[in-house]
Amino acid sequence: MKKLLFPFVILLLFLFCILQPQKAVSGAAAGLSLWYCTVLPTLLPCMVLSGYLISSSLICHLPPAPLAFVAGWFCGYPMGAKTIADLWKNGRISEKKGKRLLRLCCMPSPMFLTGFLCMGMLRLSLLDSLPLLAALYVPPVLCFFLNRPDARHTSSSLPKASTTPSETGFLQTFLNFEKAMMEGFLIMVKIGGYLMFFTMLSYFFRSLIQNPFLSSLIPGFLEMTSGAAFTVQSGLSAPMTAALCFSFASFGGLSGLAQTVSVLKSTPFSGKSYFLWKLFQAVLTFTAILLLYPR
């Protein structure tokens, strides 16, 4: 059954392109516009620079967890996972620590939440947005600190990092930067493809479903940005609209999951456990916002 699910979804998308070409083009254009205008200029420089710095000796003495935290929280999906994968490949963190950091560092950017979601979509002031932001950011922080590893079992083995000379010439430095740049370009192209196809899927289900709640929930489950836009237009109550939009951002959508799994290739980190954690986090965020939304 699992083997047939993905081909079936691709078949639905193909039929959507044939039967409703205008909406399919609109969905593809919306996904690519989001990628080109927002995601590409935001993520690509950070992705290239962080990838180069992690592989260099410049920051080898700095603690890796703050680096993953800053990249994940301030750059958004999937930079946290990308940084954790790079740190593991370079022998900076263990598998156990990487799995723990994934729960904390894979988050939507505060700039996206405050600028696009709170003020742009929901028309909330910064003061009214603070409880909603807390409902999204506090659960992973609590889980991270409550799930502290036992001191007796913290000496898990690290992967063997590739050995490079302590002093390299300009040419080698340039080649290392070029490698990080090409890896960043490849990942960004994949992200653009995922955004395009999942946005098309969200437009497809939006055109089929008449129920306001389901026509918001399913697109948001697929792609958080288009799902938030559809939810705002659905006519649902203000608390329900905010709860759905923030739970979409907390989960990241299946598009965000696909992006994260893509950057975690060749690592021991499980996409299934990541998916279950993000789903649990989205439920916590949804429940908390229904209780905290300003009346």
> What percentage of the chain exceeds 70 in pLDDT?
89
pLDDT-derived band at 64 (thresholds 50, 70, 90) equals: confident
Q: Cα torsion for 176, 80, 257, 156, to the nearest 10°? A: 90
How do residues 98-157 score in pLDDT, each as one tens digit? 999 998 999 998 888 988 899 988 998 888 889 899 999 998 998 888 776 654 544 455
Is 195 within 8 Å of 223 (Cβ atoms)? yes
3-state SS, residue 264: coil
Report the distance separating Cα 83 and Cα 224, nearest Å.
22
pLDDT-derived band at 222 (thresholds 50, 70, 90) equals: very high
Closest to 230 in 3D by CA, of 213, 252, 246, 243: 213
Tell me the pTM.
0.85
Output the six-digit token pair for 208. Answer: 């089929």
Report the distance separating Cα 30 and Cα 228, nearest Å.
13
Amino acid identity, residue 53? L
Closest to 188 in 3D by CA, of 27, 28, 32, 14: 32
Strands (E), 177-229: none
Distances (CA, A) of 241 to 73, 216, 235, 273, 295: 23, 9, 8, 28, 13
Report the distance separating Cα 52 and Cα 91, nearest Å.
15
Is 109 within 8 Å of 84 (Cβ atoms)? no
Q: Both ends of the chain: CA-CA distance in Å?
A: 45
Query: Span 43-58, mean pLDDT?
Result: 82
Report the distance separating Cα 156 and Cα 159, nearest Å.
10
Output the six-digit token pair for 69. Answer: 């935290």
Residue holding tokens 């994968």?
85
How do residues 79-94 score in pLDDT, each as one tens digit? 999 999 999 988 889 9
3-state SS, residue 154: coil
